[in-house]
Amino acid sequence: MGAKIFSNVYMIGAFSAIAGILFGFDIGSNSGVIGIEQYQVYFNRPNSLLQGGINGALSAGCFVGALISGYPADRFSRKYTLIGASFIFIVGAVLQAASNGVVMLCFGRVLAGISVGVTSMVVPLYQSEIAPKEIRGRIVAVQQWSITWGIMISFWIQYGCQYLNSTAAFRIPWGIQAVPAVVLCSGMWFFPFSPRWLADKGRMEEALQVLADIHGNGDKNHPRVVQEMEEISATIHFDTQVASHRYRDLLKPGIPYRVFLGVSLQIWQQLTGMNIIMFYVVFLFQQAGIGSSQEATLLSSGISYVVNVVMTIPAILFVDKWGRRPTLIFGALAMSAFLWIVGGILSSGEWYTNENGKASVNLNDKHKANGVVVCIYLFVAAFATSWGPLGWIYPAEIYPLRVRALAVSLSTASNWLFNWILNFVVPMLMEEIHYGLYLLFAAFNFLMCLHVFFAYPETKGYTLEEIDVVFENNPRKKIPREVMDKFMEERGIRRQEAKDARDARDAKDALHDEKSSGYAENA
């Protein structure tokens, strides 16, 4: 029974996605903490630059972690890399909870960031290499869902802790972050290695057994297992002629364009403005005058996290039906529209500097304030069903095995680099350009919609080994089955359906030859 649990593809995907909770816990706890009086008093009311630096410490660590994660993921396995990263997060959480000043707090956040950077790259990679093509998007989307759960749970923990009249109001939320890391670090030992990593290391028998356990109920001769093993083996054999698992492989023909797409998608995901809204939603609502007290503002902010969790569910259920391209395009359009509306409403108010020296706006109309809240919630919903999960799904799909870990680490690092930059500049932009911040992100969302439409191919329904042919054809057209079969056979793979069709043609030709021979003898 236990073996079946640890080889169930949904269980594997869900447990590894606990790593997403690590990132979500940090966003949720810190987002709420920066708005409470206990934090502000203890850290001497950090200005916008210092607060950006505190938040940005996590992103800086994430950038480093994502950038260096390709080597351990290839060298030591996806599984062991996740275990090591979760241990680092535990140390970072302890340092944050025990911090006696900004320096120690930032050091703990950098360590936690390194862990999050590693896991944010390795988890989608691990999930995509284990999941069958029909539900690959669904499995990887669980990673984003776990992030939203982490954000929501930690925020409401912090919401309850605000009533503690001591530093425990922020130390408890920071310390609780270590709990999911302990679970991941201790439980990941029981789950399998990636079969594609095993095969790439020449451990074919182990890879076959993992595939059999996951896809064939333990039967190594199951047609699905045999076919997938043939595809993996042939792809590895083909790749060994041109590969060395080094960064220079990213410059070989056909690869730079894919790297550009993966890096661009991760950058665009940051430029949607969603993560910044998650970090600074308390400040945003305070700036707009929403909520008459600290408690009311936190409550309004917390609802956005609930929306984020609930609206990720449709993406998990339907992303493999909707397709990647339509989901990204319509999601970007919707987010752009809602941000234009928020910016328009805020532009109609009277801007002033409040008693804390922060820019605020007086909307003079309860309906306008409610309109801002509703549009922020709708924006969160649009992100949760589109760019949230697909920002992790797509880059993990589009690279060949020989460079997959390195390329995914590069694209993930670009995500965290822009997250770090935005964490620094957004607090200042909130003070300087006010409502223009929303219009800026609205414009970014429209531009990313155009980019996806013209440049990104559809990857739904293809195995990871079939993605190569997708990039050799028009990205906006469905690849004919015969073209795909021919491509795969050139690499020594005879797909089952192609084999059946060929056998039928051979039998028909043999029957025709037999009849022709009979006619000749009679003549």
What pLDDT score was predicted for residue 382? Answer: 96
Structure tokens at 74: 């290839």
pLDDT for residue 115 is more than 90: yes
Higher pLDDT, 1 or 342: 342
Name the DSSP letter for residue 254: T
Structure tokens at 389: 């999960």
Q: Which of 187, 183, 182, 149 is nearest to 12 (CA)?
A: 187
287 falls in which pLDDT band (50, 70, 90)? low
Q: How far apart are CA 238 and CA 504, in angstroms?
A: 28
Q: How far apart are CA 400 and CA 240, in angstroms?
A: 12
Q: How far apart are CA 403 and CA 409, in angstroms?
A: 10
0.85 cut: is pTM over it? Answer: no
Give the model confidence (pLDDT) of 168-214 as tens digits: 999 998 999 999 999 999 999 999 999 989 988 889 999 999 999 99
Q: Are 331 and 62 in contact (CB under 8 A)?
A: no
324 falls in which pLDDT band (50, 70, 90)? very high
Q: Are 426 and 46 in contact (CB under 8 A)?
A: no
Q: Are 402 and 201 in contact (CB under 8 A)?
A: no
Is beta strand 350-353 parallel, antiparallel or unpaired with respect to 359-362? antiparallel
Question: Counting every residue, how long is the chain?
Answer: 523
Q: How far apart are CA 388 and CA 120, in angstroms?
A: 13
Looking at 52-61, 194-203, 482-491, which range is the least confident one? Answer: 482-491
Q: Are 385 and 321 in contact (CB under 8 A)?
A: no
What pLDDT score was predicted for residue 172? Answer: 92
pLDDT for residue 280 is more than 50: yes
Structure tokens at 157: 């923990």
Give the model confidence (pLDDT) of 247-275 as tens digits: 677 777 778 889 999 999 999 999 998 87
Residue 488 CA: distances (Å) to CA of 159, 239, 390, 481:
54, 13, 26, 11
Give the model confidence (pLDDT) of 337-393 as tens digits: 999 998 898 888 887 777 767 777 777 787 888 888 888 899 999 999 999 999 989
pLDDT for residue 501 is more than 60: no
Q: Are 349 and 366 in contact (CB under 8 A)?
A: no
Q: How far apart are CA 298 and CA 379, in angstroms?
A: 18
Residue 500 CA: distances (Å) to CA of 207, 295, 495, 497, 503:
26, 66, 9, 5, 5
Torsions phi, psi of 360, nearest 5?
A: -140, 170
476 falls in which pLDDT band (50, 70, 90)? low
Q: Which long-range contacts (CB under 8 A, 24 or more apart) does 493-502 make?
A: 493/230, 493/231, 493/234, 493/235, 493/465, 494/230, 495/227, 496/223, 496/227
Q: How far apart are CA 450 and CA 471, in angstroms?
A: 19
